[in-house]
């Protein structure tokens, strides 16, 4: 009886050790698995897909994962379903505060008119949205753009009815008359203006405040260093191809955005895509420019109650992989 009980206890202990070993294995990323990069439907992410399509990186090394909205990208990163993402700087702050250790390895683009607030046909200014229903995605970027648009128009959040909708749901809601305005970007901006929506505010009014970055989890920098370098090399090769063959590049990238090549090139005019040298100035050195502009953005967000605490922005910038990239 005693021997039997001991045997059962030993078996139970061995089983528990086995479960713990499996759990530990699951927490450690296989260095041979692909680097998973999440994106939403956004023109600024398209150079990654151009790079993949032109064979600038092997999908077995870098795997692109598309989500319908930025909210889904953030959720996937939090749940460790992806290793990195294209994300706006303001959204990255929240991840850093929550201890998820995102590290910026590249500035993808700076919005220069690409992010907008639109209203119904006939509306001419933000004040026309007073008392109206305005759709905004429930992420920091949408809230930030709306907050800045209201502030610069001497308005407050209480002046409108905020409706939380994912970006891909907004055109349908607008067409059905369920909302009177939306905070949006391409390709949804073009879909909305095609049915008569008017632009009431755009990011040219807040220069340098909306920055999209490519960020990865800190642990990935050591675990998959070669894949990170492959990702960056592919990105800059795609940007070079876009400059040299804009029409073919736009034709390829417009297909996923469901627009024409001409419309895609027009939409790109609302973005500035930094070169490798510009990126180094933004991320590297004693006084990286992104740390300065990021601090200004962070203070604006704190003042607008969109962020509860400050972070040391230089700690989330990681220029190492960019430095190691051959010019």
Same domain, 223 and 305: yes
pTM listed for this prediction: 0.83
Q: Quick check: 2 pLDDT over 50?
A: no
Question: Is the residue at 24 inside a domain?
Answer: no
Of residues 18 and 293, which shows the higher confidence score? 293
Q: Report pLDDT for 19.
A: 37
End position of a domain, from candidates 149, 181, 205 = 205
H-assigned helices in the chain: 2-27, 46-53, 70-78, 89-97, 140-152, 170-175, 188-194, 220-223, 225-244, 246-257, 261-268, 276-283, 289-303, 320-324
Chain segment 52-96, per-residue pLDDT in tens = 999 999 999 999 999 988 889 999 999 999 999 999 998 999 999
Same domain, 217 and 285: yes
Domain that holds residue 197: 116-205
Q: Report pLDDT for 309.
A: 92
Residues 179-198: what's their mean pLDDT?
93
Number of domains present in the structure of the chain: 2
On average, the pLDDT of the chain sits at 89
Same domain, 189 and 52: no
End position of a domain, from candidates 165, 188, 205 = 205
Chain segment 90-135, per-residue pLDDT in tens = 899 999 999 999 999 999 999 999 999 999 999 999 999 999 999 9
Q: Report pLDDT for 29.
A: 58
Domain CATH code at residue 250: 3.40.190.10
Q: Residue 198 pairs with which residues in a beta bridge?
A: 119
Same domain, 237 and 312: yes
Q: Quick check: 296 pLDDT over 60?
A: yes
Q: Report pLDDT for 138.
A: 74
Give one DSSP letter per residue of 39-91, joined into a string.
E-S-GGGHHHHHHHHTTSS-TTTEEEEE-SSHHHHHHHHHTTS-SEEEEEHHH
Same domain, 217 and 164: no
Question: Is the residue at 26 inside a domain?
Answer: no
Question: Is the residue at 253 inside a domain?
Answer: yes
Same domain, 179 and 278: no
Question: Is the residue at 70 inside a domain?
Answer: yes
Q: With cut-offs at 50, 70 and 90, classify the pLDDT of residue 158.
A: very high
End position of a domain, from candidates 174, 205, 236 = 205
Same domain, 59 and 127: no
3-12, 60-69, 261-270, 306-315: least confidently modelled range: 3-12
Question: Is the residue at 23 inside a domain?
Answer: no
26-35, 107-116, 170-179, 206-215: least confidently modelled range: 26-35
Beta strands 84-88; 211-217: pairing state: antiparallel
321 token code pair:
């992989």
Question: Is the residue at 29 inside a domain?
Answer: no
Q: Quick check: 14 pLDDT over 70?
A: no
Question: Is the residue at 6 inside a domain?
Answer: no
């Amino acid at each position: 009886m005693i021997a039997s009980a001991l045997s059962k206890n030993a078996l139970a202990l061995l089983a528990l050790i086995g479960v713990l070993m499996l759990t530990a294995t699951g927490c450690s990323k296989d260095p041979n698995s692909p680097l998973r990069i999440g994106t939403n439907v956004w023109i600024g992410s398209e150079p990654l897909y151009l790079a993949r399509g032109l064979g600038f990186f092997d999908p077995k090394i870098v795997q692109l994962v598309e989500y319908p909205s930025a909210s889904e990208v953030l959720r996937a990163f939090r749940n460790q379903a992806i290793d990195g993402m294209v994300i706006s700087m303001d959204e990255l702050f929240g991840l850093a505060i929550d201890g998820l250790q995102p590290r910026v390895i590249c500035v993808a683009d700076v919005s220069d008119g690409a992010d907008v607030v639109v209203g119904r046909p006939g509306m001419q200014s933000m004040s026309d949205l007073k008392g109206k229903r305005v759709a905004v995605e429930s992420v920091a970027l949408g809230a930030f753009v709306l907050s800045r648009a209201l502030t610069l128009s001497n308005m407050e959040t209480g002046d409108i009815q905020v409706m939380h909708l994912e970006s891909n749901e907004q055109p349908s809601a607008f067409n059905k008359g369920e909302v009177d305005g939306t905070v949006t970007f391409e390709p949804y901006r073009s879909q909305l203006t095609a049915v008569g929506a008017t632009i009431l505010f755009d990011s040219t009014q807040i220069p340098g405040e909306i920055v999209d970055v490519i960020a990865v989890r800190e642990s990935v920098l050591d675990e998959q260093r070669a894949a990170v370098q492959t990702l960056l090399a592919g990105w800059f090769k795609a940007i070079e191809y876009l400059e040299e063959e804009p029409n073919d590049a736009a034709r390829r990238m417009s297909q996923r955005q469901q627009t024409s090549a001409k419309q895609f090139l027009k939409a790109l005019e609302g973005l500035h895509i930094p070169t490798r040298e510009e990126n180094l100035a933004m991320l590297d050195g004693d006084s990286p420019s992104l740390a300065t502009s990021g601090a200004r953005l962070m203070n604006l967000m704190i003042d607008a109650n969109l962020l509860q605490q400050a972070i040391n922005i230089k700690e989330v910038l990681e220029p190492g992989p960019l430095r190691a990239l051959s010019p």
